[in-house]
Chain A
């Protein structure tokens, strides 16, 4: 055999056979190692603790959760800043959101219905925050500020702005902060109560003095030949407003955010990367083709679709297939209400009616010419 021939042969033999059920093989290749994965969490120094890895993270990815449990954002810098650690540190400081509670002690004085904010020079200096910045942040709440030394006494404004307060007290969810920022509506005179002061003092604590909401605890990390910034949170659009950040090189483990900012192709790549990272970290090898297939399946429709009844499985064509997965009754009822047709093109559907499945050898029909005997 010549070299060319043997090459040709090996290429042919390594090709994927037609009608191979690549979907099932992919699902098995990703699902089977799931049983071997550890549930240990990961630690990013200074940025976040208990970042899920292994099975919990894998489930998070295929679920296409709106927000990962511990969002992390990596921001690479433009060339002018990338080599300079001090410059990078400065950018990191500019980005990190600093709360009032980080630079001051907030105490509510229920007797006089006011809130004392005791400014800490030392903490503020570390965070690069000035007294005036805190004052400015506080003015958002009430113009009635009395300043004595390091203490700002905030008296809630007489005309309390009726706010669309969310039903639940604001959960201290990072990144979510901005989403729940209440928007003021009609002004309404309301009596200031101790309860209100209590609530307000919590809001004062969580008020942002400096930095970008959705980027927390930024840390400079030495990467390959350059410095980059890693932080908790995922506000990509906020981050790229900083002129030092290279907008083409910002990454977050929040897949939905990547989809929103960089588009579906980027999201697909991010899914591949995230699954690959999980597998690598567990020292499990899974062929990239499987991971690509799952990422493609999740993104072909132009949006990240979760694996499960609210995503891919819930939108399958076959009624029987959907009914056999989850929410049996719902699918049967809807099918009959709208006179749906079951075309029996899927695997489950054909198993249900007892026919060969349309994958692999089941897709091939053999016709034999019957020669007459003798």
Chain B
């Protein structure tokens, strides 16, 4: 249905009221009394008085509902009822019934132990309990550690408090006699699920119902009921509502056989037993048989409501599968609530694989043409765009209109032939609406699951492209946490101007550059962008005129500045500075330890790396110049970076991870030293001369010390590798400037993989006292406890490969467990906090307007912009001076 074609009247729910149906009400709303435990007759026509009686609505095409006359999709369905010959307890209310029975007198039906006391009688109790409740909010048990201390300065005080708590927590004993009529109170027991006992005698549902029915409205109100809407005797069923067939449609298999819904099956059982019970009662069968049948009926009704009731076997389908009855339909992740009611499905959406396209702006999304042809946006026809709309209607190919919606909401498909379209175009009227295909510049929501934070869904501008995948600028993968190894993403086209405006103003990619989690940039140059910027802004980097022109052209700068390097060359710093706003000045220490200085929009000193880029520069530009400017800056600087990284080239080969023979020797030296130290420790351990560390056993001490040695070995080798591979090594460069990888990766590839661990301990599991059968049992040496001497370059031996797999397995298992656990935690967090909103007065309130915080965060600042005020100020103060 179109939402903005005409002002339609929409119903707004104000509130919902939950209540119980009285049997009378059940009968009143019933369209049919169901008496036949069957569905269709031999001709395949619904049986009158059967479970698919046409008065309950119709699911077969061609039939008409006898109650409302509607056809399949018009008739909403109507309830029927089954008249149960004997009342049946509703399982889900068994507890409620039990509590009511327990708290009322069975002979005079007054509330037990409830004789109103005078105010004087009440007062001492209140005074006594109140201070204890204030001082000790937690339960009585937590006071116990106090009593353990002997020299109690305030021991008496504590004891007193404990006594009060005891008294408070002690259950008030049920009165033996009714205060009102003096009759002895029997002990009521509930044998789950639905049987009640009075002392030792079983109470039949009839007796229970009579007892409940006799309670006065006033007493019910005191017990918390609202007798107008729910009386306890209504929890005992006499007229069982039968849901309309629409709720339990039968499926026709290919063979022509009908397969009924689980609920229908259950209802058949209920009617059948109900009839049998009735026949037996009428025939004057012995009480025992009647009670047996009664109980059987109770079982069927119970499982009709909940087929997972504790202590009773679930009703099963012929195939042995437990039936899905009412409770099962509502419950859990696949239940009605979480699956259908909280999880809405939408139209105007698309999903496909994503792939990168650095030529797009970061706030664009490349939409494949086949998808663009399918998705539409409503377009109001006005006198100003009438001509344009006509061309859309007449168009033969891609940017065309698909539907015309008249003011009376009738929709017409745009014709197939040119003549038809011409006719339709001529007939267009102002006030009608077109549904046209999406076009470049339209707004769309782009989303990748799991949507863990709000920036998992952002608004992009559409860019229709050939191909079959969604294209996105690699700079926005981080908020989506996407990669291109086959990830798919969803696209949603907004249908109303309000939604589109909201998306543009609130959800656009550039508005999300700073994360609301910590106020730092989340969309920032990454990986190759960082490498490129580093190469570009390196001190030695300079370009000839032609290269410089190409570089600048890639970011749309067409005017060449004056060359600043000897030989009429252009320094990379100069080119980069062209992208910076003039008013920016900063001074940061880079990851490489050198100083990066930007003065008045000119990069004066230092090479840009990840920290400088994201931390200072980007955030500063964002806070000073706003989202659009920053977007343009990121777009052009990443483009420039990619250009320059392709000029320089960044690749690795095996050679890059071959250590010099000298370094290899040194590594071997470090390793043999480590081996000696470990051996030495093991000797000490065996001779028991090892000194025990406090709080640890001797074995633990040894393990701890060995771990220290192995990790120190890795550090030592790390230093060696770093200096041997040198700063020109691509891996080292990437690690140092924060583009990708770490020093550890380089060490493991070129020198040694080092200690493998499970649960942050050396490996121990596997065979008896050893990890693999060809190790000596009980050996504690490094090589036999998970130390990998080889590097990925030289290759691991089978034992080492095993060690590495053991460590790898733990990592995989941990990730699997972690995602499940953190997912549930986040669901709980969201559910608990979702209603919290800041109001205009800066208070944080819950849905019921109760205040959670008086001023949000203590200062009413947006976490995203919390550093803004300081930053703007600091630029004023921090006048950078360059030496």
Q: Which residues of A contact B (CB under 8 A)?
A: 3, 6-7, 10-11, 13-35, 37-41, 45-47, 55-56, 58-59, 62, 66, 175, 177-179, 181, 212-214, 217, 219, 235, 237-238, 241, 256-257, 259-260, 264, 285-290, 292-294, 296-297, 300, 302-303, 307-308, 311-313, 316-321, 323-325, 328-329, 332-333, 335-348, 351-355, 358-361, 363
Cα A327 to Cα B567 with chains together (Å): 77
CB-CB < 8 A to B713: which residues of A?
Answer: none
B825 close to A31 (CB less than 8 A): yes
A31 close to B138 (CB less than 8 A): no
Interface membership of B822, Cβ < 8 A: yes
CB-CB < 8 A to A7: which residues of B?
Answer: 869, 872-873
Cα A55 to Cα B341 with chains together (Å): 30
Contact with A along B126-151 (1 / 0, CB 8 A): 00000000001110011011111101
B18 close to A339 (CB less than 8 A): yes
Cα A142 to Cα B812 with chains together (Å): 55
Cα A32 to Cα B835 with chains together (Å): 19
CB-CB < 8 A to B518: which residues of A?
Answer: 29, 285-287
CB-CB < 8 A to B147: which residues of A?
Answer: 178
Interface membership of B327, Cβ < 8 A: yes
CB-CB < 8 A to B353: which residues of A?
Answer: none
Known A28-B830, A34-B822, A41-B760; contact A359-B837, beta-carbon cutoff 8 A: yes
Q: Number of residues in B with C-beta < 8 Å to the partner?
A: 103
B853 close to A293 (CB less than 8 A): yes
**The residue from A41, A219, A260, A289 contacting B695, defined by CB atoms under 8 A apart:** A219
Q: A31-B826, A353-B16 are in contact. List 4 more A-B contacts (CB 8 A).
A: A260-B138, A289-B856, A293-B857, A346-B835
User: What's the least CB distance linking A211 to chain B, in Å?
Assistant: 10
CB-CB < 8 A to A32: which residues of B?
Answer: 452-453, 517, 826
B136 close to A59 (CB less than 8 A): no
Give the segment of B221-229, B280-288, B595-603, B781-789 that binds chain A: B221-229
Interface membership of B566, Cβ < 8 A: no
User: What's the least CB distance linking A86 to chain B, in Å?
Assistant: 17
Interface membership of B653, Cβ < 8 A: no
Cα A361 to Cα B869 with chains together (Å): 25
A19 close to B520 (CB less than 8 A): no
Give the segment of B27-35, B238-246, B841-849 that binds chain A: B841-849
User: What's the least CB distance linking B557 to chain A, in Å?
Assistant: 29
**The residue from A31, A260, A285 contacting B829, defined by CB atoms under 8 A apart:** A31
Interface membership of B765, Cβ < 8 A: no
Instruction: Sample 18 A-B pairs with CB under 8 A, ordered by A number.
Output: A3-B876, A28-B830, A31-B452, A34-B826, A178-B145, A241-B152, A289-B857, A294-B829, A303-B138, A317-B847, A319-B18, A320-B337, A332-B18, A333-B96, A341-B18, A345-B848, A346-B835, A351-B344
**The residue from B96, B137, B344, B872 contacting A303, defined by CB atoms under 8 A apart:** B137
User: What's the least CB distance linking B34 to chain A, in Å?
Assistant: 23
B17 close to A179 (CB less than 8 A): no
CB-CB < 8 A to A178: which residues of B?
Answer: 144-145, 147-148
B342 close to A324 (CB less than 8 A): yes
B853 close to A13 (CB less than 8 A): no
CB-CB < 8 A to B93: which residues of A?
Answer: 333, 337
Interface membership of B20, Cβ < 8 A: yes
Interface membership of B852, Cβ < 8 A: yes
A235 close to B145 (CB less than 8 A): yes
Interface membership of B92, Cβ < 8 A: yes
**The residue from B151, B832, B833, B868 contacting A10, defined by CB atoms under 8 A apart:** B868
CB-CB < 8 A to B153: which residues of A?
Answer: 241
CB-CB < 8 A to A19: which residues of B?
Answer: 837-839
**The residue from B15, B826, B838 contacting A343, defined by CB atoms under 8 A apart:** B15
B145 close to A337 (CB less than 8 A): no
A179 close to B137 (CB less than 8 A): no
A13 close to B868 (CB less than 8 A): yes
A338 close to B224 (CB less than 8 A): yes
B828 close to A16 (CB less than 8 A): no
CB-CB < 8 A to A300: which residues of B?
Answer: 850-852
User: What's the least CB distance linking B871 to chain A, in Å?
Assistant: 8
Cα A338 to Cα B863 with chains together (Å): 42
A337 close to B20 (CB less than 8 A): yes
Contact with A along B805-847 (1 / 0, CB 8 A): 0000000001001110111011011111111111110101001
User: What's the least CB distance linking B312 to chain A, in Å?
Assistant: 16
CB-CB < 8 A to A14: which residues of B?
Answer: 861-862, 865-866, 868-869
B822 close to A24 (CB less than 8 A): no
B331 close to A16 (CB less than 8 A): no
Q: Pick the most buried of B454, B831, B840: most chain A CB atoms within 10 A of its CB.
A: B831
CB-CB < 8 A to B186: which residues of A?
Answer: none
Interface membership of B330, Cβ < 8 A: yes
Cα A256 to Cα B136 with chains together (Å): 11
A324 close to B341 (CB less than 8 A): yes
B695 close to A179 (CB less than 8 A): no
CB-CB < 8 A to A328: which residues of B?
Answer: 330-332, 335, 337
